[in-house]
Structure 1
Amino acid sequence: MTRQTACCLAMAWVALLIAGCSQQRTLSGSEPTANASPVTEIRYQVGPCHGMCPVYSLGLSEDGTTRFHGEQFTALEGERVRVSDPGRFALVKRQLSSWQPAMGTTIDTPDCGPRATDLSHYTVTWTNSEGEQAVLNHDSGCHSEDARRLTEVLRSVPKTVGIEAWVEQ
């Protein structure tokens, strides 16, 4: 192999590696496309763990309506509905926007890294005005750097919405 051929092959490999890296989707994924219909509802569900973790669901609408359903290990059980400031919906939407998958898709925590198997699972569903949904399933036992950041954001949602007293026992 000539030196010129070896150099060309090396440059081709570098170009392929760069292209491959730029195509990899991380948790801090994609922004919704400009022509996508706006998100009008966010549903947030927290599943059980191997212990006494809260199990509940939370629905947030752009008009400020908050629907909480405490299932297990929460301060309040059953459904509660509160109409509050639509700004809270906008804040949660903004906090979660970098993890929102494209409408019509469902993704699981990519790049989980080392994983603890006994922690809560989260499901976040964004619904737009046309009824399309984007779903993120997150395992809070994932310990990659992106996964830990997402877990922190998800755990902050009850405080952002002002329902932490409903969740914590």
Structure 2
Amino acid sequence: MARISSGARPEGRINHSVGLCRSPSQHAFTIPPPFQGEARFRAGKDQPKVLKQAIPLSAILLAGCATVPQQTRTAPESVTFEETACFGSCPIFSITLNADGSGVFEGTRFVAAKGEHRFTAKPAQVKAFLARIEPFRPEGIVEYGYDNCSVPVRTDSPSVRVTWQSEGGAEALSWYLGCAEPKAVKIKPDLYGAWKELPLDELVGTKENRFEYEPQGR
């Protein structure tokens, strides 16, 4: 099966799940257990010992970034992108984009087009879309929400769900945007508006007309 190519790939990484050698714009935000939170430094007399060991190790890892060969990830055969409801008029829809640029849009609420609609994206549009979502691509399956967020969570926000499907399996991100996970929110441009890289304006519609897309009383 054909694979979607997103162009530029993340540069040399020592451990792909940690991503220590990535540039800020390419930094994945999957945090493996040894690096989650500040809990890895135990309080009490053990703390200085842990810190002394951690600093030389990080220096060694970072020093190796210049010499580690570039590692590329498998290009996805398809990508599914979904935006969910919020307390308000957030557009609710999903899209599936294939390697050849063909795609399916399915509108649910607060969008100009309801139901299933097919579209075709140009190679440049496919490349731009994949490049925009690539920095958010996790290793395996990652979810950020009420039960998995390193900062206080706001209510009434939408979620974004992305699945990268390739020969080797699927990688997926489910991110409730009320969780302002620092490693995710610092990546620009944002994930929520990534669909704008594709020819979907007439299907999604405009922010000003969200309520007009819904019959009265629905």
Query: 1:74 & 1:150 partners in 2: Cα distance?
Result: 26
Kindly provide the amino acid, as one letter, of the partner of residue 123 in structure 1.
R
- 1:134 maps to 171
- The structure with the largest helix share of the pair is 1
Aligned pair count? 148
Query: 1:37 & 1:17 partners in 2: Cα distance?
Result: 32
Gap regions ≥5 residues in structure 2: 1-45, 59-70, 211-218
Pairwise CA distance, 1:75 = 1.1
Equivalent runs, 1:49-68 vs 2, <5 Å: 49-68=86-105
- 1:166 maps to 203
Query: 2:194 & 2:203 partners in 1: Cα distance?
Result: 12
Per-residue Cα deviation, 1:17-76 (whole angstroms, up to 9, x for no partner): 4469xxxxxxxxxxxx53x53212110011111222111001111211121100111111
Counterpart of 1:153 in 2: which secondary structure? Answer: coil
- 2:31 maps to none
Counterpart of 1:59 in 2: which secondary structure? Answer: strand
Pairwise CA distance, 1:14 = 1.7
For 1:108, which of 126, 139, 143 is the aligned residue? 143
- The structure with the largest strand share of the pair is 1
Pairwise CA distance, 1:82 = 1.2
Residue 156 to residue 138, structure 1, CA distance change in 2 (3 Å): same
CA contact 1:111–1:147 (8 Å) conserved in 2: no
Identical positions, percent = 22
Pairwise CA distance, 1:147 = 3.5
Equivalent runs, 1:54-133 vs 2, <5 Å: 54-102=91-139, 105-109=140-144, 111-128=149-166, 130=167, 132-133=169-170
Give the RMSD, CA atoms, in angstroms.
3.0
**TM-score, normalised on structure 1?**
0.73
**TM-score, normalised on structure 2?**
0.58
Residue 108 to residue 151, structure 1, CA distance change in 2 (3 Å): farther
